[in-house]
Chains A and B, each alone.
Chain A
């Protein structure tokens, strides 16, 4: 592993002509990520890294688009024609960006925690996140607030919840 990475390091410096290490690189996702990061280190040292770094998997978006072009277009088209084509891969758009205003708010979901009033938290293992009545204390019914830390969602759960909420936002606006 270490030896492999040392060879990888030499390979990216053009100091290795061993095809074996290249074969290993082509087969190992882990090595490919290391390859990316080693280059990123160089980019950062030379101040050749952009303000907003591209995703480490950026190449996947490029390949997806190339595949899409191959399917939908017979002749290679230039950039302007592509724009006119006016269809964009949703996978790419959705992989990279949020869906504008419609998902605003999802991030704050876990910021505050309150228990449900009356009864509904009697179940074992029930977790309730973030239900604050409108207007706080001035709301029509006073709520018993729980000042304890919320059972914070794990990163994994948060990611999953965001993905579901995004999908819901999308589904409710596209045709059945």
Chain B
């Protein structure tokens, strides 16, 4: 099974010096990492920078990754540590990035507003999510079941085949057709 594990395949390639494999690793995890960071970091404008730090650390530490734990567990730990470092570095230094937070008497700018980030980016992200969720809602029942069991329950094709009482090849095809149908809606949006 381990040779099927995408993370391990990618890591082997990275360790062999294939930089593009690192790109794929980032692409795979970038939004999940950003999502973890939002729990720690209020200002969404800082998220891309901290996420970048996480992946730089990963890049530097990967040669020493022995695979004794799952890659995601390892990545998660780095993410949380980076977020905490970031927070403590912010509190150690005066908040130079927030002129307006320095002196409330002189600055009446609403502090609450600062978490919002770019309204445009937020709108765009919401649109992408809505389009994806609508596309999923419109899937035929057997496709929806297959991708839900895979993505939400994390089940293997083998397990899904037993639950749905169909061959593994059918599971594989249904999951792909589900992704393809959703992707058809998503693709033009992400290319815009």
A45 touches B85 (CB 8 A): no
Q: Are B156 and A15 in contact (CB-based, < 8 A)? A: yes
Q: Produce 1/0 per residue, B1-37, CB < 8 A to A.
A: 1011110010001000011111110111011101101
Indicate if the CB atoms of B125 and A53 lie closer than 8 Å.
yes
Query: Are A54 and B34 in contact (CB-based, < 8 A)?
Result: yes
- A22 at interface by CB-CB < 8 Å: yes
Determine whether A42 belongs to the interface, using a CB cutoff of 8 Å to chain B. yes
A155 to B176, CA, bound (A): 32
**In angstroms, how far is the closest chain B Cβ from the Cβ of A30?**
10
- B residues 114-142 touching A (CB-CB < 8 Å): 117-118, 121-122, 124-125, 128-129, 132-133, 136
Give me the 3 closest cross-chain CB pairs, A-B, nearest first: A59-B26, A9-B176, A50-B34
State whether A32 touches B23 (Cβ < 8 A): yes
- Asked if B183 and A65 make an inter-chain contact with CB atoms under 8 angstroms apart, the answer reads no
- Which bracket fits the contact residues of B? 35 or more
- Evaluate contact between A53 and B31: CB separation under 8 angstroms: yes
A-B contact pairs, 24 of them (CB 8 A): A9-B179, A12-B6, A13-B150, A15-B157, A26-B21, A26-B24, A32-B27, A39-B28, A41-B147, A41-B183, A44-B132, A45-B132, A49-B31, A50-B37, A52-B122, A54-B31, A54-B34, A59-B30, A59-B55, A62-B56, A63-B23, A76-B60, A79-B57, A79-B85
Flag if A48 contacts B48 (CB, 8 Å): no
Instruction: Pick from A53, A61, A92 the residue with the most CB of B within 10 Å.
Output: A53
CB distance from B49 to the nearest CB of A (A): 9
* Chain A residues positioned under 8 Å from B129 (CB to CB): 44, 49
Known: A41-B151, A52-B125, A54-B51. A79 touches B38 (CB 8 A): no
Is the C-beta of A40 less than 8 angstroms from some C-beta in chain B? yes
Q: Is B183 in contact with A52, judged by CB distance below 8 angstroms?
A: no
Secondary structure at the B interface, as helix, strand, loop or mixed, is helix
Total contacts A to B, CB within 8 angstroms?
A: 177
Which residue of chain A is the closest to B9 with respect to CB atoms? A22
What are the interface flags for A95-120 relative to B under an 8 Å C-beta threshold, 1 for contact and 0 otherwise? 01100000000000000000000000
- Total contacting residues, chain A, CB less than 8 A: 59
In the complex, A2 Cα to B1 Cα: how many Å?
25
Per-residue interface assignment for chain A, residues 47 to 70, with 1 indicating a CB less than 8 Å from any chain B CB and 0 otherwise: 011111111101111110110010
The answer, among A15, A79, A96, for a CB contact under 8 Å with B86, is A79
Are A37 and B187 touching (Cβ within 8 A)? yes
Taking CB atoms, residues of chain B closer than 8 Å to A50 are 31, 34-35, 37-38, 44, 47, 125
Contact (A80, B89) CB under 8 Å given A17-B3, A44-B132: yes
Task: Report Cα–Cα, A38/B177, bound state, in Å.
Answer: 11
Query: Is B152 an interface residue when CB atoms closer than 8 A count as contact?
Result: yes
B143 contacts the other chain (CB 8 A)? no
Q: How far is the CA of A5 from the CA of B173 in the complex (A)?
A: 10
Residues of A contacting B57 in the complex (Cβ-Cβ under 8 angstroms): 79
> What B residues does A132 contact at CB under 8 A?
none
Whether B186 pairs with A41 at a CB distance below 8 angstroms is: yes
B170 at interface, CB cutoff 8 A? no
